[in-house]
């Protein structure tokens, strides 16, 4: 049975998909996370090497587990036995056939905003992997680019900081302080205006609240 939120998300997604496609992204809307998982897997060829950065949304729909269990070659930093090995694995994701990620925010006009501490995730979005699959809950959609940047900095980053053993103002208070802390997780802010080459970045919008 449709709910008010379901109807709202679907109508909003139609506008956003049109705008994403005008910027040469590929885009789909899936009402549920189960549908989103099927759509994402249809975009990953069997035998492909698949990497990912921090991607709570992809994890929440079961995509990361499906890659680990499927006929793919996962580039999985969680298998590392040391920080040095983890860094090497993260660098290998830049040469993956497919890179999985979420996004911290999207503007309704079709621009993606992502914020990173180390930079491995935004680097892979920009260049390297042949294909990038973005899983985005409709809770990430903002009216304007300015709103999307604000969401990334004041909502996504403070929530994300709770996962890490860092000592930043947002970890302590839940509020961005525009800090210069050595532990800062907001060192790179990426705005992806257009997709080049066309279709390299594939955005799957999900009619549920996902990620941070």
In a domain, 212, yes or no: no
The residue behind tokens 């890659």 is 67
Domain around 50: 4-206
In a domain, 143, yes or no: yes
pLDDT tens by residue, 50-103: 999 889 999 999 999 999 999 999 999 999 989 999 999 999 999 999 999 999
| Confidence (pLDDT) at 84 | 94
**CATH code assigned at 153:** 3.40.50.10420
In a domain, 44, yes or no: yes
Residue 1 confidence (pLDDT) above 60: no
Please tell me the total count of domains within the chain.
1
Residue 48, strand partner residues: none
Where on the phi/psi map is residue 178: left (φ > 0), alpha (ψ -120 to 50), or beta? left
Percentage of the chain surpassing pLDDT 70?
A: 99
Average pLDDT over residues 196-212: 97
pLDDT tens by residue, 107-157: 999 999 999 999 999 999 999 999 999 999 999 999 999 999 999 999 999
| Confidence (pLDDT) at 113 | 98
In a domain, 211, yes or no: no
pLDDT tens by residue, 154-176: 999 999 889 888 889 998 999 99
Q: What is the DSSP string of 28-88?
A: EEESSHHHHHHHHHHTS-TT-EEEESS-HHHHHTTHHHHHHHSSSEEE-GGG-SSHHHHHH
Q: What is the value of pTM for the model shown?
A: 0.95
50 phi and psi angles, rounded to 5 deg: -130, 125
Residue 2 confidence (pLDDT) above 80: no
| Confidence (pLDDT) at 54 | 84
Residue 11 confidence (pLDDT) above 70: yes
Q: Give the Cα separation of 122 and 53 in Å (integer).
A: 9
145 sits in which H/E element: helix 145-151
| Confidence (pLDDT) at 164 | 86
In a domain, 178, yes or no: yes
């Amino acid at each position: 049975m449709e709910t008010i939120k379901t109807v709202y998300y679907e109508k909003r997604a139609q506008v956003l998909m049109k705008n994403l496609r005008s910027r040469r992204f590929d885009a789909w809307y899936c009402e549920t996370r189960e549908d989103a998982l099927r759509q994402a897997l249809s975009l990953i060829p069997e035998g492909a090497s698949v990497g990912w950065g921090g991607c709570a949304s992809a994890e929440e729909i079961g995509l990361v587990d499906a890659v680990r269990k499927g006929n793919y070659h996962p580039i999985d930093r969680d298998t590392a036995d040391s920080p040095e090995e983890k860094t090497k694995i993260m660098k290998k994701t830049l040469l993956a056939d497919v890179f999985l990620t979420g996004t911290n925010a999207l503007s309704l006009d079709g621009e993606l905003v992502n914020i990173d501490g180390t930079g491995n995730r935004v680097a892979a979005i920009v260049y390297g992997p042949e294909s990038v699959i973005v899983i985005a809950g409709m809770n990430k959609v903002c009216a304007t680019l300015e709103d999307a940047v604000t969401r990334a900095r004041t909502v996504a980053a403070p929530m994300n900081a709770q996962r890490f053993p860092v000592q930043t103002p947002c970890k302590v208070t839940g509020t961005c302080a525009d800090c210069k802390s050595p532990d800062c997780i907001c060192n790179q802010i990426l705005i992806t205006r257009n997709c080049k080459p066309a279709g390299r970045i594939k955005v799957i919008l999900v009619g549920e609240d996902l990620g941070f």
